[in-house]
Amino acid sequence: MSPKLQPKDPTKPTLLLRAPAPVQELGATPKDRLMPARGARDLTANPPSIPDEPEADAARAEVVDRLMHAWQGRLTLSLSPAGMMVAFFDWAAHLANAPGKQANLLEKAARKWVRLAIYLSRTAVDPDTRPCIEPLPQDRRFSDAAWQQQPFSTIYQAFLLQQQWWYNATSAIRGVSPRHQRMVSFTVRQILDIFSPSNFPFTNPEVLRRTLEEGGQNFLRGAQYFIEDWERAIAGRRPVGTGAFRVGEEVAITPGRVVCRNELIELIQYAPSTGAVRPEPVLIVPAWIMKYYILDLSPENSLVRYLVGQGFTVFIISWRNPTAEQRDLGMEDYRRLGIGKALDAIGAICPGQPVHACGYCLGGTLLSIAAATLARDHDERLKTVSLFAAETDFTEAGELTLFLGNSQVAYLEDTMWEQGYLDTRQMSGAFQLLRSNDLIWSQGIRQYLEGERVPMNDLMAWNADATRMPYRMHSEYLRHLFVENELAEGQYRVEGRPIALTDIRAPMFVVSTRTDHVAPWLSVYKIHLLTDAPIDFVLTSGGHNAGIVSEPGHPGRSFQMAHRPAGGRYTDPETWAAATPASEGSWWPAWAAWLGEHSSAPGTPPALGAPDAGYPALADAPGRYVLAP
């Protein structure tokens, strides 16, 4: 049944009289929930003398709990307080019962004080004395030469020594759950970063230097910037500078037409820019957590425009930004109404031609599900499968998974249940925490303490144009993929039957990025363990977004690429990275060449749309879904 035709959920609470049916736990059916727990006494044979609690009372109690969690989520960035409490209790209880570890920590504290004292005594004689502790390579807070002058060198080194001690205090404790240990270590690091000396004007020599040079005008500008940003955030308006990158005007301007529209997607077909094109079309599946035009930004860094210029017919899915009305759309709706409908339309416009399918981020995960489903059902419409920064195994999905246990997922479900979706600010806050030094504190220092606006670019403007995620879909995604890892284990079900990535036989082109905090490359590399298809694997410089938007000519770009034939032997990622030579420049030409190798000779471009088959050209690109707030 189409989501639009589904009746209104009668279980949605009205004046707190009813509780909605909670998202079903994995593997639990209504019958399962009525069965007594294993080893428990069956009370149905001899019912207790006290009557059971009325069902309506239990439902009202659940509504109160879920509303409480939804309200709390607005204050906690949707992080579960209960999950954090359990993690910290696990750590504290084991540390309290580890006298050897405590003695070791006391010894480390004494050694660090001695190191700092020796450093101070040496700098009194030689100001160029080497620091007693160096920041990590990715920590650029103290890279300015002014930090090497007293008293700032002592201040920042004392901070780093303290940070190092707390890392020792929150790691390598016998008996603590590894996940809880990482949660505590991550949280403590975030708290310490708040009190970094770089965040305060009187302990930051760069800010003091700017203040002396400008007579304090930097603070006045910073206050103005802060008030302006705060007002925009409260009003729900986009950040300053994004107006210079209007969708359809400055970005997403590659010529094309919307050739298919349903309640979830618009399918855009791009006009050819060459006299002849490859017969096999390219379908790009972006993530629904983002607007599609990250792959069609400015003309000079548009992947779509680049592919069209290489002689390919390109289609791209533009996802609808869901509201509370789409709360009940699930993963199966995204597969069926998204990729499934797009393939049907492409089949009508380019009849008889197999498709080069490409998925980015969550779109790549969904594409892998769709490809495995097509392979299971002997549907051969996919010529190749390309995955960009997309995970199929979530056991090592980085710090983003630290908080995605049952407690956190249930807490997120309650937050989404109340409003019908996961809000953009709730998502962006979680991603910013993963790189708080780069995305929060460093930008705050530059704008509000130094009084210098961070210049806006097209990628930053796109990043501020986030989307929402429906309640049901996001709950299913987290539970089935992140928590239970069903896709990698062959337990994910489509249309009531399990699918397996091992069924995919189409050649694969898989791209990962070195500094990806969302889909770490070691996690993306696990595709080698999940399918025997031929794989060309690429590890490129940059992060989750900038590594993919890596147009030819972009300075400082490089990549490694190696081919594994069908059924080839497995190579571990460390060995692969050490043995694979690096190439300078963008990986885009390598992908275009790979697509060309798996395509037929160029021929006449297809028409835009197929009116006789029910797919007329409805509107010019970029369409209307991408413009919806």
Active site residue 350: no
CA distance 338 to 268: 12
Catalytic residue among 132, 350, 358, 361: 361
Query: How far is C-alpha 561 from the chain's CA centre?
Result: 24
CA distance 204 to 189: 20
Cβ neighbours for 257, distance < 8 A, ≥ 6 positions apart: 268, 269, 271, 608, 609, 617, 618, 619, 620, 621
Tokens representing residue 377 in the block: 């059902």
DSSP three-state, residue 141:
coil
For CA atoms 538, 544, 548, 552, give the dihedral sign.
Answer: negative
**Cβ neighbours, 10 Å, residue 441:** 16
Q: Report the run of H or E that residue 497 belongs to, with start and end.
A: strand 497-498
The crossing angle, in degrees rounded to 10, of helices 152-169 and 99-123 is 170
Tokens representing residue 579 in the block: 């043995």
Residue with tokens 């995305």: 439
List C-alpha distances in Å: 378 to 148, 455, 491, 492.
65, 51, 19, 18
Helix ranges restricted to H, 195-316: 205-214, 217-235, 303-309
Residue with tokens 């309506």: 56
Q: Which of 296, 286, 247, 620 is nearest to 465 (CA)?
A: 247
DSSP three-state, residue 131:
coil
Backbone phi, then psi, for 360, in 5-degree steps? -115, 130
Three-class SS string for 441-478? HHHHHHHHHCCCCCCCCHHHHHHCCCCCEEHHHHHHHH
| CB of 551 closer than 8 Å to CB of 294 | no
CA distance 129 to 303: 49
Q: Which of 182, 203, 157 is nearest to 83 (CA)?
A: 182
Catalytic residue numbers read 361
